[in-house]
Structure 1
Amino acid sequence: MPHQINIAYFAWVKEGLGRDQDIISYPENVETIGQLIEYLQSKDAVYGDVFANLKRLRFALDQEFAGLDAKLNKASELAIFPPVTGG
Protein backbone atom coordinates (compact mmCIF):
# COMPACT_ATOMS: atom_id res chain seq x y z
CA MET A 1 0.00 0.00 0.00
CA PRO A 2 1.49 3.41 -0.92
CA HIS A 3 2.25 6.01 1.70
CA GLN A 4 1.31 9.68 1.50
CA ILE A 5 3.12 12.82 2.66
CA ASN A 6 2.52 16.55 2.42
CA ILE A 7 5.60 18.35 1.06
CA ALA A 8 5.94 22.08 1.77
CA TYR A 9 8.33 24.18 -0.37
CA PHE A 10 9.90 27.50 0.59
CA ALA A 11 11.83 30.37 -1.07
CA TRP A 12 13.40 29.58 -4.45
CA VAL A 13 12.30 25.93 -4.20
CA LYS A 14 8.67 27.12 -4.19
CA GLU A 15 9.39 29.52 -7.06
CA GLY A 16 11.14 26.83 -9.11
CA LEU A 17 8.28 24.36 -8.73
CA GLY A 18 5.56 27.00 -9.13
CA ARG A 19 3.68 25.89 -6.00
CA ASP A 20 4.10 25.91 -2.26
CA GLN A 21 3.13 22.30 -1.55
CA ASP A 22 2.30 18.86 -2.89
CA ILE A 23 0.58 15.84 -1.44
CA ILE A 24 2.57 12.88 -2.74
CA SER A 25 1.81 9.17 -2.69
CA TYR A 26 4.98 7.12 -2.78
CA PRO A 27 5.72 3.37 -2.82
CA GLU A 28 6.64 1.38 0.28
CA ASN A 29 10.23 0.86 -0.90
CA VAL A 30 10.85 4.62 -0.54
CA GLU A 31 12.05 4.83 3.06
CA THR A 32 14.26 7.94 3.40
CA ILE A 33 14.13 11.61 2.41
CA GLY A 34 16.85 10.96 -0.17
CA GLN A 35 14.87 8.11 -1.73
CA LEU A 36 11.76 10.29 -1.83
CA ILE A 37 13.70 13.03 -3.65
CA GLU A 38 14.98 10.45 -6.16
CA TYR A 39 11.43 9.17 -6.62
CA LEU A 40 10.15 12.69 -7.32
CA GLN A 41 13.01 13.35 -9.76
CA SER A 42 12.07 10.19 -11.67
CA LYS A 43 8.44 11.32 -11.90
CA ASP A 44 8.87 14.85 -13.27
CA ALA A 45 11.77 16.75 -14.84
CA VAL A 46 10.93 19.94 -12.93
CA TYR A 47 11.91 18.15 -9.68
CA GLY A 48 15.18 17.16 -11.32
CA ASP A 49 15.96 20.79 -12.07
CA VAL A 50 15.01 22.19 -8.67
CA PHE A 51 16.60 19.35 -6.70
CA ALA A 52 19.74 19.14 -8.89
CA ASN A 53 22.08 20.20 -6.07
CA LEU A 54 20.85 18.71 -2.80
CA LYS A 55 23.68 20.40 -0.89
CA ARG A 56 21.77 23.66 -1.41
CA LEU A 57 18.71 22.32 0.42
CA ARG A 58 17.62 21.63 3.98
CA PHE A 59 14.85 19.30 5.13
CA ALA A 60 12.52 18.96 8.09
CA LEU A 61 10.25 16.01 8.86
CA ASP A 62 7.26 17.00 10.96
CA GLN A 63 9.10 20.23 11.90
CA GLU A 64 12.35 18.49 12.97
CA PHE A 65 15.51 19.11 10.94
CA ALA A 66 16.56 15.94 9.12
CA GLY A 67 19.19 14.72 6.68
CA LEU A 68 18.74 12.86 3.41
CA ASP A 69 19.21 9.54 5.22
CA ALA A 70 16.37 10.21 7.70
CA LYS A 71 13.63 7.60 7.67
CA LEU A 72 10.22 8.85 6.58
CA ASN A 73 8.40 6.35 8.81
CA LYS A 74 4.89 7.74 9.10
CA ALA A 75 5.79 11.43 8.90
CA SER A 76 2.94 13.60 7.70
CA GLU A 77 5.00 16.57 6.44
CA LEU A 78 8.34 17.15 4.74
CA ALA A 79 9.54 20.74 4.40
CA ILE A 80 12.17 21.55 1.78
CA PHE A 81 13.97 24.89 1.88
CA PRO A 82 17.33 26.57 1.24
CA PRO A 83 19.62 27.26 4.21
CA VAL A 84 18.50 30.28 6.20
CA THR A 85 20.97 33.12 6.57
CA GLY A 86 20.74 36.00 8.96
CA GLY A 87 21.75 39.57 8.58
Structure 2
Amino acid sequence: MNIQLRFFASVRESLGTSQETLAVPEQVKTVGDVRAFLRERGGAWQEVLADGRALRMACNQQMTGPETRITDGCEVAFFPPVTGG
Protein backbone atom coordinates (compact mmCIF):
# COMPACT_ATOMS: atom_id res chain seq x y z
CA MET A 1 0.00 0.00 0.00
CA ASN A 2 1.26 3.49 -0.84
CA ILE A 3 0.49 6.53 1.28
CA GLN A 4 1.38 10.20 1.07
CA LEU A 5 3.23 11.70 4.02
CA ARG A 6 3.25 15.40 4.92
CA PHE A 7 5.37 17.06 7.61
CA PHE A 8 4.81 20.59 8.90
CA ALA A 9 6.58 23.29 10.94
CA SER A 10 9.29 22.05 13.33
CA VAL A 11 8.65 18.42 12.32
CA ARG A 12 9.49 19.32 8.71
CA GLU A 13 12.55 21.28 9.78
CA SER A 14 13.88 18.46 11.98
CA LEU A 15 13.34 15.77 9.34
CA GLY A 16 14.55 17.87 6.42
CA THR A 17 11.56 17.03 4.23
CA SER A 18 8.01 18.24 3.78
CA GLN A 19 6.51 15.26 1.97
CA GLU A 20 7.11 11.82 0.52
CA THR A 21 5.31 8.85 -0.92
CA LEU A 22 5.85 5.73 1.14
CA ALA A 23 5.12 2.07 0.45
CA VAL A 24 4.16 0.59 3.81
CA PRO A 25 4.27 -3.11 4.65
CA GLU A 26 1.08 -5.08 5.21
CA GLN A 27 1.34 -4.92 9.02
CA VAL A 28 1.12 -1.10 9.00
CA LYS A 29 -2.62 -0.53 9.30
CA THR A 30 -3.14 2.65 11.37
CA VAL A 31 -1.75 6.16 11.70
CA GLY A 32 -0.02 5.04 14.90
CA ASP A 33 1.57 2.16 12.99
CA VAL A 34 2.87 4.65 10.40
CA ARG A 35 4.44 6.71 13.18
CA ALA A 36 6.09 3.62 14.67
CA PHE A 37 7.26 2.44 11.23
CA LEU A 38 8.89 5.81 10.51
CA ARG A 39 10.65 5.77 13.91
CA GLU A 40 12.47 2.64 12.76
CA ARG A 41 14.49 4.87 10.42
CA GLY A 42 16.39 6.00 13.52
CA GLY A 43 18.15 9.30 14.09
CA ALA A 44 15.95 12.39 13.81
CA TRP A 45 12.98 10.20 12.82
CA GLN A 46 13.14 8.31 16.10
CA GLU A 47 13.48 11.50 18.11
CA VAL A 48 10.84 13.62 16.36
CA LEU A 49 8.22 10.83 16.25
CA ALA A 50 8.93 9.39 19.73
CA ASP A 51 5.94 8.05 21.67
CA GLY A 52 6.22 10.57 24.51
CA ARG A 53 6.57 13.57 22.23
CA ALA A 54 3.57 15.85 21.74
CA LEU A 55 2.63 15.48 18.11
CA ARG A 56 -0.57 16.07 16.16
CA MET A 57 -1.63 13.72 13.38
CA ALA A 58 -4.11 13.92 10.54
CA CYS A 59 -5.40 11.47 7.99
CA ASN A 60 -6.86 12.86 4.78
CA GLN A 61 -6.82 16.35 6.33
CA GLN A 62 -8.87 15.31 9.38
CA MET A 63 -7.36 15.42 12.87
CA THR A 64 -7.00 11.88 14.11
CA GLY A 65 -5.66 9.61 16.79
CA PRO A 66 -3.24 6.73 16.36
CA GLU A 67 -6.04 4.18 15.97
CA THR A 68 -7.33 5.58 12.65
CA ARG A 69 -6.95 3.04 9.85
CA ILE A 70 -5.08 4.03 6.72
CA THR A 71 -6.05 3.16 3.17
CA ASP A 72 -4.14 3.00 -0.09
CA GLY A 73 -3.40 6.50 -1.34
CA CYS A 74 -4.35 8.29 1.87
CA GLU A 75 -2.48 11.29 3.21
CA VAL A 76 -0.98 11.12 6.69
CA ALA A 77 0.37 14.34 8.21
CA PHE A 78 2.44 15.04 11.31
CA PHE A 79 2.89 18.43 12.98
CA PRO A 80 3.59 19.93 16.39
CA PRO A 81 0.79 21.16 18.64
CA VAL A 82 -0.20 24.69 17.69
CA THR A 83 0.16 27.50 20.17
CA GLY A 84 -1.34 30.90 19.73
CA GLY A 85 -0.58 34.36 20.90
- TM bin, normalised by shorter chain, reads 0.7 to 0.9
* Structure 1 residue 43 displacement after superposition: 2.9
Query: Could you say which residue in structure 2 is the equivalent of 1:78?
Result: 76
3-state SS of the aligned residue for 1:37? helix
* Structure 1 residue 69 displacement after superposition: 1.2
Query: Could you say which residue in structure 2 is the equivalent of 1:40?
Result: 38
Q: Partner letter of residue 9 of structure 2?
A: A
Q: How many residues align?
A: 85
The alignment-based identity, stated in percent, is 35
After TM superposition, the score normalised by the length of structure 1 is 0.85
3-state SS of the aligned residue for 1:84? coil
Q: Which has a greater percent of helix?
A: 1
Report the RMSD for the aligned CA atoms in angstroms.
1.6
* Structure 1 residue 53 displacement after superposition: 4.4
After TM superposition, the score normalised by the length of structure 2 is 0.87
Matched, 1:12 2:10: yes
Give the gaps of 5 or more residues in structure 1.
none
Deviation sequence 1:21-59 (CA, Å, 0-9, x none): 121110111101111111111134321011124541101
Partner Cα separation in structure 2 for residue 4 and residue 73 of structure 1: 8
Give the gaps of 5 or more residues in structure 2.
none
Deviation sequence 1:50-79 (CA, Å, 0-9, x none): 112454110110111100111113352111
Q: Partner letter of residue 84 of structure 1?
A: V
